[in-house]
Structure 1
Amino acid sequence: MSFGEVLEHVGSMQRFQFIYVTLLAIPVFMMASHMVLQNFTAATPDHYCAFRHDPCHRFVHYQWWLLNATILNGTGVNATAAKMETEPCSDGWVYDRSVFRDTIVTEWDLVCSARTLKPMAQSVYMAGVLLGGIVFGGLSDRFGRRLILIWCYLQLAIGGTVTAFSSSFSVYCALRFLTGMAFSGIVLNCVSLCVEWTPTRTRAILGTLNGCAYTTGQMLLAGMAYLIPDWRWLQLAVSLPYFIFFIYSWWFVESARWLVTAGKLDRAVKELKRVAKMNGKHEAAAELDTEFLRSKMKEELASMKSTYSILDLVRTPNMRRISCCVSFVWFSTSFAYYGLVMDLQNFGNNIYLIQLIFGAVDFPAKFISVLTISYIGRRFTQATTLILAGMTILTNIFIPQEMQTVRTALAVFGKGCLGASFNCIYLYTGELYPTVLRQTGMGLCNTMARLGAMVAPVVKMSSDYIPFLPHVIYGSAPIVSGLAAAFLPETLNVPLPETVEQVEKR
C-alpha cells in the first residue's frame, strides 16, 4: 500500500481537505499584491524641474544679450532662440500627483540619474524571493512544511508592515528583501501541503484554484491601488492580513507524507487520526497505529536514506534530467512573465485598467490549461503554453508602435499563456520530485524562477541600445524551454513518488 492508499483510508478529499485547501488559498489572494506591488508603489509620475525645460534639466540663466538682440530685431521673445543654458535638477522635482499621489519614486526622487534605483528595488525583492527558495526549501524538507509556513506568515506580516514606515530607500530595500524571502516560503509550502494531502485525481483542479486565487489577487490589487493612492497605506493594506493568516495557521496539520519519510511515524499516525476523525472515518482512526503504517509502507520505508541534500537532485540520471529541464522551464517562464507584468506603464495611460486586464486574462487561460492538464497531460500543456507565449512575444516585434491596442492585446495573450505555464509547472514539479526531496527540488526551481525575474529588468534596459532586443530575448527563452519540457516524463494519473528509487524506476 502506498501513502495514496493510506490517504484514501482516512478520507482523501472530504471535509478536512476542503477546509485545509481553502485556508491555504486565502493568503494567496494577497501574494500577487506583494509580487507586483511596485507597479503602483513605485510608479513614476510626470515630473519636471523648477524653470521647466525637460523632466531632468533646469535653466541655469537666460542669455540676456541674445534675448535683447531678439527684441531689438523685432522678432519677439523666443526661449529656444535665446539658447538658454541648462543643468541637471539640483533643487528637486515637481510631480504630477493626479494619478499617483505618493510613491517611493516621489518620496526619494528616483528619477533621472537615480531612475535605475527603481528596478534595483524590485531586483532586491526578487533576490529575497530567490534566497527564500533556497533557505526555506531545504528547511521544509528538514523540519517540516507546517512550521516553516507559520514562520513565513509571521515574517511577511512583520516585514511588510514595517516596510510601510521605512525612513530611507536603503531601509525600504532591506525590508522588501525579507518579505521576498517569506513569499517564497509561503508559496513552496502551500503547494506541497496541497499536493501531499490530496489525491492524484484532484491535484490539477486544486492547483488551478490556487492559481485563480493568485489571479484574483492581481485584480484585487488594481482596485486597492486605485482607492489607496499613498504607497505607505497601500503597503500596510496588503501586509496586515498576514497577521490573521499567522494566527489561524497554528491549526494546520503537518504533512503526514513528510512525517513518514522523515521517520516520524508516531506523529504521522497522530495527524492521520486527526484527519480521519474530521472526515468522519472513526473506524479508520481506530485502526491506525505505527505498525499499520510500517506494514503498509514497508517498501518506501526500507528504501529511504536518513538524510538528503541538494546533490541528490542531480546524482542519478532521471533526477538529473528532471532537475535540468524543470529548472530551465521555471527560469524562462518567470523571466518572460515578469518582463511583461512589471512594465505596465508602457501599455497605456490607465495602469489600473491594464492591471485588471492582465489579471483577468489568467482566468480563461487557467481554465483551458486545467482541461489539457487533466485530459491530455502535463507535458503537452507545459510545452505548448511556453511555445505559444514565446511566439506571441516575438510577433510583437513586427507590430508598429502606433498600433498600441494590437500590441497590448498580444502582450495580454502572451501573459495568459505564461500564466497557464505557471499553473502547470507548480503542479508538475511537485509530482516529478519524490517526497523526500520535494521541497528541496521546489526550492531549486524557485531559485531559477527568481533568477529569471531578477534578469528581466536588466534585459529591459537593453532597449536603450537596440529597441527590439528585449522582445527577442523574452520570446526566445520560452520557446527553447518549451522544447526542453518535452523531455520530462508524464505524470498524469501517476501516484506521487516517495523516494529517489521510485523516480528512477518510473
Structure 2
Amino acid sequence: MASTKNGESDNSDTGNTGVDLDLILVQEIGQFGRYQLITLALASLPAIFGGFTGEYIFTAARVPTRCRIPQCDPDVPHPEFRPEWVLNAIPGIGVDDFDDCTRYADRSYQTPGNETCPVSWFSSTIISCEDHVYENTYSVVYDFRLACDEWRRSLIGTIRTVGTLVVLPITGYISDRWGRRVALSINAFNTGWIGLVRSFVNTYEWFLALQVLEACLGAGGFSSCYILVTELVGPKYRVIAGATLSTMFAVGQVLLGLIAWGVPSWRPLTQILYAPQLIVVSYFWILSESVRWLMSKGRYEESEAILLKVAKTNKREISEKSLKLLRAVEEIGNQTTTVNEPWLPALVFRSRVMLLRCAVSPILWITMTLVYYGMAINSVNLSGNQYLNYVFVSAIEIPGYWTAILLLDRIGRKPVLICAYWMCAVCQFSFGFMPEGMDTLSLVVYLIGKYSISVVVTSLYVYTAELFPTKYRHSLFAFSSMVGRLGSITAPITPALAQEVWNPLPSVLFGSFALLSGLLLFTTPETLGTKLPDSMEEAEHITSRRIRT
C-alpha cells in the first residue's frame, strides 16, 4: 500500500470504503504491541523448525569410502578404514589420501609371506570397486549402498527442492481458502509424521519418495508464519518482523548443525528433528487468525473480536467509528461489480519495460537461491569439522539480514543489491581458485560470500515487491519466486559437479551468476523513496513517483 507525504494511506487496498486496517493499527490499537510480540514469539518456533529442512545435508552426506580388498580385509561388517597396507592396494591421492572408487587389480599369482597385503599382490592396472568399506555409518549413503554413486546421492536434495516448488501453490491455496492457521497446522502435521516415517525406511526408493512427499505437503510452514505475522503488525514494523523470522530460520540452521554434531546417525537425528514439529499443530487453537484474511472472506464478527483482543492486550482502545467502518466493507463489497480485465501475460508483453523487468527479476531470484542453498550444501565439504562449518555458514546469515535492513532505506535498493551480488562474486572466484593449505583464509572468504548473499535475500524480497503494480504484485512476485526455484533445484547437484567434473566448478557457477545479476540490475529502476505503483503505467514510470519531503 502506498503512503502519502504525511503518512496517511491512500486506501486503495480497501476499495475507498473509508477504512484502513493499517491506520487502525497505527492510530488506535498499536503497530507492534504486546499482542504482536507474543504472536511473533510463537511464530519463531515454526520458523526455527523451517531451518531444519536442510537436514538432508547431513542425513544424505557424502561418506568417505574405499574398495574392500577381500584377500586383505577381515571378514567383518566394518573393517578398519585406513589400514597400513591401503596404498598397496588402492591408488593414492595427494600425500596420504586414497581413491574412493578404484583399486589396483590383483596379480594372477600372490606369493605367500609374512607381510600383510604386500604391494606384490597387485598389478598397476586400476579397476572399479566391487564392494566398499565405509568410514562411518552415519548417512543413508551407507544404509542404501550409495558409495561412488554421487548423482543418486545428490538427487535426494534435488528431489526435495522440487517438492518445495510444488508446495508453494498448494499452501497458497489452502491459506487463501481456509486461513493462515489451517495452512500452518497442516504443514506442521505433514512435516512431523512424514519425517518420522522416513526415519524407519530401509530402501533408497522409499526414502526418496517420502523426501519429496514431505516437501510437497509440509514445506510451506515458514511462509504461512511469515504471512500471519506480517499481516498483523503495522507498516513500520513489517520489514523488521520479517527479518526477525528470517533470523529465526538461520537460528534453526545453526541448531541443526549442532544437533547433527551431537547425534550424527541419520535415523535418530531425523526423529529428534521431526518429532517436536508436531507441537505446532496446537497453534490452530493458540494463534488468532489473520484479521486481513477474515475481512477478505467477509467474516467481520471474528475480525472485530480479534481486533478488540489485540487492543486489550496492547492496553489500547479501538473506536466505535472504526468498528462501524469495518462492518461497512461487506456492504460496499457486495455492491461492487466485477470488471473483465485483460489477461496479465498480454499486459506484460504489451510493455517493453515490464517485459524486461519480468525477464530480469527471475534471473535475480535464480542467482539468489542457487548461491544461498548451494553454499549451505557445499559447506559440509570444506576442510575441517563439517558440523562447525555448517554452523558458521548459517550464523553469518543473521548479520547479513540486518545489514540489509540498515542500508536499504539509507543508500537505496540497487546499490545494496549490486554491491552484495558483486562482493559475493569476488568471494566465489577467490575461493574457487585459492591454493591448497590456506584453510583459514578459505573459510573467511566463504563466510563473506554467504554474508553477501544473505544481504541479497532480504533486499530482493523488498525490491521485487516494489517493482510491480499493486493489482498484479502478488502474481508477478510469485512468478519471479517460482522461476527462482530453478536455482535451489540445481544447488544440491553442485557437490557432484565438483566431485565428477571440476572441483572449482560450483564456485565459478555461483560467481558467474552473481556477476551477471549485478550487471542486470542496471536495467531496473531505483525504488527508494517512491510510491508503490498501483497500475502498469505507474510501474513503467516508477522513478517519477518519488515521495517529496
User: 2 CA distance for matches of 1:344 and 1:428?
Assistant: 28
Listed one character per residue, the Cα deviations across residues 196-252 of structure 1 (whole Å, up to 9, x for unaligned) are 222222223222222221222222112101111211111111112211112124333
The equivalent residue for 1:56 is 101
3-state DSSP of counterpart to 1:83: strand
Code of the aligned partner of 1:95: Y
Listed one character per residue, the Cα deviations across residues 63-109 of structure 1 (whole Å, up to 9, x for unaligned) are 217x58xx9xxxx995257417775444x432223xxx421111111
Code of the aligned partner of 1:11: G
For residue 294 of structure 1, the aligned residue among 312, 323, 329 is 329
For structure 2, the residue ranges without an aligned partner over 5 or more in a row are: 1-8, 12-19, 70-85, 91-99, 543-549
3-state DSSP of counterpart to 1:417: helix
For residue 332 of structure 1, the aligned residue among 367, 392, 395 is 367
User: 2 CA distance for matches of 1:400 and 1:455?
Assistant: 27
The equivalent residue for 1:456 is 491
Task: Indicate conservation of the 8 Å contact 1:341/1:358, yes or no.
Answer: yes
Task: Please state if 1:102 is matched with 2:138.
Answer: yes
The equivalent residue for 2:180 is 145
Code of the aligned partner of 1:355: Y
Offset at 1:386? 1.8
3-state DSSP of counterpart to 1:43: coil
Aligned-pair identity (%)? 24
User: 2 CA distance for matches of 1:357 and 1:200?
Assistant: 33
Q: CA RMSD in A?
A: 3.8
Code of the aligned partner of 1:176: Q
User: 1 CA distance for matches of 2:419 and 2:337?
Assistant: 36
The equivalent residue for 1:83 is 123
Listed one character per residue, the Cα deviations across residues 51-74 of structure 1 (whole Å, up to 9, x for unaligned) are 163433467754217x58xx9xxx
For residue 390 of structure 2, the aligned residue among 332, 355, 362 is 355
Q: Equivalent residues in 2 for 1:13-412 (5 A)?
A: 13-35=32-54, 37-51=55-69, 53-54=89-90, 55-57=100-102, 61-64=106-109, 67=111, 79=119, 82-83=122-123, 88-90=128-130, 92-97=131-136, 101-112=137-148, 114-182=149-217, 184-261=219-296, 265=300, 267-284=302-319, 287-289=322-324, 294=329, 314=348, 317=351, 323-412=358-447
User: 1 CA distance for matches of 2:216 and 2:342?
Assistant: 23
Q: Equivalent residues in 2 for 1:413-432 (5 A)?
A: 413-429=448-464
Distance 1:415 1:441, change over 3 A: same
Distance 1:257 1:30, change over 3 A: same
Code of the aligned partner of 2:222: V
Code of the aligned partner of 1:64: Y
Code of the aligned partner of 2:134: Y
User: 2 CA distance for matches of 1:434 and 1:260?
Assistant: 22
- Scaled by the length of structure 1, what TM-score is found? 0.83
Distance 1:310 1:30, change over 3 A: farther
User: 2 CA distance for matches of 1:319 and 1:485?
Assistant: 14
Listed one character per residue, the Cα deviations across residues 97-123 of structure 1 (whole Å, up to 9, x for unaligned) are 3xxx421111111112x2311100000
Distance 1:311 1:250, change over 3 A: farther
Listed one character per residue, the Cα deviations across residues 470-505 of structure 1 (whole Å, up to 9, x for unaligned) are 333211212222343455565657787888898678
Distance 1:402 1:242, change over 3 A: same
Distance 1:491 1:86, change over 3 A: closer
User: 2 CA distance for matches of 1:171 and 1:281?
Assistant: 54
Greater relative contact order (Cα 8 A, min sep 6): structure 1 or 2? 1
Q: Report the more deviating stretch, 485-494 or 226-235.
A: 485-494
Listed one character per residue, the Cα deviations across residues 348-387 of structure 1 (whole Å, up to 9, x for unaligned) are 1311121122122223323322211243344433332122
Distance 1:459 1:47, change over 3 A: closer
Task: Please state if 1:470 is matched with 2:506.
Answer: yes
Offset at 1:266? 5.3
User: 1 CA distance for matches of 2:187 and 2:416?
Assistant: 31
Task: Indicate conservation of the 8 Å contact 1:222/1:352, yes or no.
Answer: yes
Code of the aligned partner of 2:56: Q
User: 2 CA distance for matches of 1:306 and 1:259?
Assistant: 25
Task: Please state if 1:482 is matched with 2:482.
Answer: no
User: 2 CA distance for matches of 1:241 and 1:183?
Assistant: 14
Task: Indicate conservation of the 8 Å contact 2:24/2:318, yes or no.
Answer: no
Listed one character per residue, the Cα deviations across residues 303-359 of structure 1 (whole Å, up to 9, x for unaligned) are 987999985995785765654443222211111122221112431131112112212
Alignment length (residue pairs): 492
The equivalent residue for 1:444 is 479
